[in-house]
Amino acid sequence: SPCAFSTAAQQRSTGDECGPEDPSDEPKHPLSDCALEHRALKLEEQVRDLTERYRKALADSENVRRRTQKFVEDAKLFGIQSFCRDLVEVADILEKTAESAAGQAEPSDPNPTLKKIYEGLSLIEAKLQSVFAKHGLQKMNPVGGRYDPYDHEIICHVPAEGMQPGTVALVTQDGYKLHGRTIRHALVGVAVEAHE
């Protein structure tokens, strides 16, 4: 045994590597297997938590992107909505003027100027309606259809003669839709059962 001790001392002094029995290779703060497992479980839980947060953040950012894109598309489509509301009032005046001129310009009338004015107004009205259609603005034609509170505003009730109650019997002011969205309600008279 003193011989074994001297051999180990010689190995250290000669610079040879020490064997596994050398106490200098052991960690200064050894962790038990239980502590390592606990730490590994804690790290796995943190990874799961961070992964879930990451997925939620990705989903939220995708939702924000979609909503923003929809908002931009709607702004492009409906940005002219107030301008269209003003233009339909002009279209109403033009239509009433053309109807008035049509009543005045009879085929037997010797006045060709009035007939030309009526034809010009009719052309302008047709062109205006084609421009409306080009930009997604459409006139509603609800006569004979069911009353819809989203598209129509009731101004009177009329006796249902040959019509089912609840259907639109007359229109006093045309309604308009811009890309399917009502921008002006049609003012309508709705048929009701006649009470005797």
Q: Convert the pLDDT of each residue in 83-97 to its tens digit.
A: 999 999 999 999 988
pTM of the model: 0.62
Pairing state between β 152-159 and 186-192: parallel
C-alpha dihedral (88, 93, 99, 102), degrees to nearest 10: -120
Interval 118-159: pLDDT, tens: 889 989 999 999 999 999 999 998 998 999 999 999 999 988
Q: Which CATH class is domain 137-195?
A: mainly beta
Query: Residue 18: which residues within 8 A CB-CB, separation 6 or more?
Result: 11, 12, 24, 25
Q: What does the pLDDT read at residue 117?
A: 85
The angle, 0 to 180 degrees and rounded to 10, between the axes of the packed helices 112-134 and 81-104 is 160
Interval 6-30: pLDDT, tens: 444 445 545 445 444 554 555 555 6
Of 144, 189, 191, 196, the closest CA to residue 165 belongs to 191
Integer Cα distance of 120 and 124 in angstroms: 6
Residue pointed to by tokens 């489509």 = 77
Integer Cα distance of 160 and 167 in angstroms: 9
Q: What does the pLDDT read at residue 3?
A: 45
Q: What does the pLDDT read at residue 35?
A: 86
Interval 151-182: pLDDT, tens: 999 999 988 788 888 899 999 999 999 999 99
Higher pLDDT, 130 or 100: 130
Confidence at 4, pLDDT banded by 50, 70, 90: very low
